[in-house]
Chain A
Amino acid sequence: MNVFSLSLKNVVAKPLSSLLSVLLFGFGVSIIVIILLTSSFMKNEISKNAAGIDLVVGAKGSPLQIILASIFHIDFPTGNISLADANNLTRNRLITSAIPLSLGDSYRGYRIVGTTEKYVELYKAELKEGELFNTKMTAIVGSNVASILGLSLGDVLASDHGLSEGAGDHDENPYNVVGILKPSGSVIDNLVVTSIQSVWEVHGHDEGHEEQHLAEIKLEKLGVSVTEEQLAEEDITAIFLKYRSPMAAVQLPRIVNGTSNLQAASPPYETARLFNIIGVGVEVVNILGVVIIILSAISVFIALINSLKERKYELAIMRSMGARRAKIFVMILIEGLILTIIGSFFGFGLAHFGFGLIGVSVDQFDASALFFVEEEYFVLGGSMIVGIFASLIPAILAYRADISKTLAKG
């Protein structure tokens, strides 16, 4: 027998009231933890997907939309820019390299990205089998696309025009799957990647140029070779730029925005803006969590005070049997802590379970129940402190109780 087992027995002796305290505390903690997990996970994802991209240039429009459409593939592009404009821009000394993107088609809901091999390198994606797209009308597919749609090497994909399913198709120009990527944890897992020429080909202006093997011009920084006619006529959706020096961060956006058709969008700036917008909602839910935790702290407090009232003779008798005041104090404190510790572990379990569930049910949200962030320690520490405060006053009351008076009355 020791103080802890006494506290534990007292908690167990009141199963319903203890359960209520534990549940309330658990729900409060789980709301805060799940918000924490989701927002850290999203920030993590965003920084992972935007890593290595200093600036995105697209058609005039909302910079946030450009970021969402071309990096995260969740919004629609603002429009197209001409290959010639893009090429002129990339000749700027401030730019080390550029990756062109051509968006707009999809295959059964998964977006098709026309780009260069550098796009695959950007996300450090590796091939699980097959090879990279090289010849026209070949494509590689991300791991999620392959596993969910059950694609394998040699399959033929007829792309849909537009970003949603069934919006009209390009049956006459299907892609051959030549490679399947390993899971990389980035957006590329949910994409079909092909060469930019293949996308042009699909949207081909059937003018029968194929046989005329014209001399190709190599666009160094963009990493594509095109014919003079293509350079003059073709469009792309966006380009990812990499700066040569920090100076570029100041000058380039101004140069880009000064060009009539182009819009510059900085991933860190736009994602920060996005978080500011969502931030209000996150804040509200967080406050809700804190309110629930405070309510549950009050419930722990009331549960302890009530049980003290019922047990005041017991406690006085324990004192009369030789229990020191400090022992009674610690016993009550531990009772409160047992409730809050069980409550917060229940909350953490619930939050991670819920987070894992989101990961399973939303396939663009590659979350695992075992995703932990450091801030959870603060939540754990904070809830312990709340628990200590909730049990402190009852413990002090028990500590200061006048045992003689109590015993004389009963």
Chain B
Amino acid sequence: MLTINSLVHSYNGSAKIEYPDWQVEKSQHSVILGSSGSGKTTLLHLIGGLLQPSQGEVCLEGIDISKMSQSALDRFRGANVGIVFQKPHLVSSLTVIENLTLSQYLGKGKVDKGEAMKMMNQLDIRELQNRKVHQISQGQAQRVSIARALLNKPKLLLADEPTASLDDENCEKVIRLLKSQAELCDSTLIVATHDQRIKGELENTLVL
């Protein structure tokens, strides 16, 4: 479902990074492994349409997103891609439930509170719904950010270094959680990380 072809990216003419061709099938959860500076976050951004490549193409279900205009990309992301970042970065002026409905509003244009509540149940954070963002713990915030990324049932769930600052036990928990939630939402998970611990958890690996 995801195909990367002769992809090249360079930041304003500086060092070019060439990426190997790669394919990901539907529900084939994958990991992009690489040390820092190897360009794995950049690749993740290229796949998620946050960045446009200098050359080559990124096809998601046959659609080449590398040639899309800015606003078409914004719309595309809203509908097809959910991203979990290393830090949760929730919108601090909103409550937990509002952070979720914000994702619906921005991604799909309409708010469905029932759906958001279902997602919160699924991630076991229902009782946090009316808390302000600064009133919840880091771990809870990460769950909220996962719920936020999956709420619009994206085809792709991208995660950038989700385990970087976690101990072994929590690392495994988070990866399991991402996998199980991606499956529940019928999404394909792609994790970009330098964390070797994850290697065994996901079937398809791209090493940069």
Contacts and interface: CB of A to CB of B under 8 A. Distances in A.
A321 B98 CA distance: 14
Interface residues on A, range: 20 to 34
Contacts of A322: 74-75, 77-79, 106-108, 152
A48 interface: no
Contacts of A218: none
A128 interface: no
Contacts, number: 84
B2 interface: no
A323 B42 contact: no
Interface string B67-95: 00011001101110101011101111110
A321 B106 contact: yes
Contacts of B48: 320
A319 B50 CA distance: 9
Given A320-B48, A408-B45, A325 B71 contact: yes
B148 A311 contact: no
Given A407-B50, A408-B41, A1 B101 contact: yes
Interface string A399-410: 000011001101
A313 interface: yes
A407 B159 CA distance: 12
Contacts of B102: 1, 6, 318, 321
A278 to B, nearest CB: 48
Given A314-B92, A407-B50, A321 B148 contact: yes
B103 A407 contact: no
B50 A1 contact: no
A326 B94 CA distance: 21
A176 to B, nearest CB: 73
A369 B169 CA distance: 69
Interface in A225-267: none
B89 A404 contact: no
B41 A318 contact: no
Given A13-B92, A408-B42, A321 B87 contact: no
Contacts of A12: 93
A273 interface: no
Nearest to B93: A13
Interface string B42-64: 10010010110000000000000
Indicate the member of B74, B94, B103 with the most A CB atoms within 10 Å: B74
A221 to B, nearest CB: 77
A156 interface: no
B93 A318 contact: no
A118 interface: no
A320 B77 contact: yes
Given A1-B98, A13-B92, A321-B148, A407 B111 contact: no
Contacts of B107: 321-322
Contact of A410 (B85, B98, B103, B152): B85
Contacts of B108: 322
B105 interface: yes
Interface string A288-320: 000000000000000000000011011011111
10 contacts: A1-B98, A1-B101, A6-B102, A14-B93, A311-B91, A317-B91, A323-B78, A403-B50, A404-B45, A407-B45
